[in-house]
Structures are given as C-alpha cells and as structure tokens.
Amino acid sequence: MFSKACKYAINAMTYIATLPKERDRVGLKEISKEINSPEAFTAKILQVLVKDHLLTSIKGPNGGFMMRGKSEEIFLGQIVEAIDGDVLFTGCALGLEHCNGHHPCAVHHKFKAIRDHLAGMLMTTSLKEVAFGINNGTNFLRS
C-alpha cells in the first residue's frame, strides 16, 4: 500500500516525535538505526520531508533533524503526500488513468469507500497520537 520510502518516512517522523522535549534534534545515523533503514536512503527521505516543510535540518556537528511544528499538528496523511503524492487518495485500484464516478473501473465504487476511509484515518491521525503508542510501549517502530 505504502512505498518503502513512505514507510521509512512515517517511521522516521514517528521516531522524532517520540523524543523528549528537551532533545530538540536528532542525527541521521540515529534515525536510520532506530527505524532499521539504510542511511543513504534515509537521508534522501528526510530531505524530501525538509523540502515539504515537515522537518527542519540543521547542518554541522551539533546539527540534525527536528520537526517543524508540533507533533499534534502533523498528520500521517501529510507524510504520505510528501513522499508518495496523492495517488493513495485519488488513484484507481486497477491502475486506470481515467477512473472516476462517471467512468468507473470494475471495482471503483467499492474501492472508493475503502480509499476514502483510509484517507480519513491518515488525515486525522497525528504524530503525537502515534508517538504516544510508541512511548507507552503498546506500539513499536521495529520488530
């Protein structure tokens, strides 16, 4: 459903959101280790998130990445859109280029309901909510 890059982006943002308030930034090496992602691939993903204004990047020996804004103001749907675009929210289940209510594919109406439900969940689930589950031990970033 999500691309590998999108999965890593959600996990990276979630990891950053789990950090204590007094720790305002985290380095690339730590993020890639904590989410079990190749460092070079993680770097590219984080730069996309910086470009999309979800993260801030500070260069130098005391640099790192930090969230731009509060974790309750950043939603999973924003991360998905930054990395994978809006195809998850608008795309055809069968990959047709021109699938819509007036010209539907064979599963359009059933899939649209599922797609809309998923979009609603992603657009209303904040990083704060996801990080809470990680911090209290009910959810995990790695197996």
Do 66 and 24 touch, CB atoms closer than 8 A?
yes
CATH assignment of the domain containing 56: 1.10.10.10
Do 66 and 56 touch, CB atoms closer than 8 A?
yes
Average pLDDT over residues 25-41: 96
Average pLDDT over residues 71-97: 94
In a domain, 30, yes or no: yes
pLDDT value of residue 15:
96
pLDDT value of residue 1:
78
Instruction: Give kind and range of the element (H or E) at residue 56.
Output: strand 55-58
Containing domain of residue 99, as a range?
4-135
If one counts the domains in the chain, the total is 1
pTM: 0.92
In a domain, 101, yes or no: yes
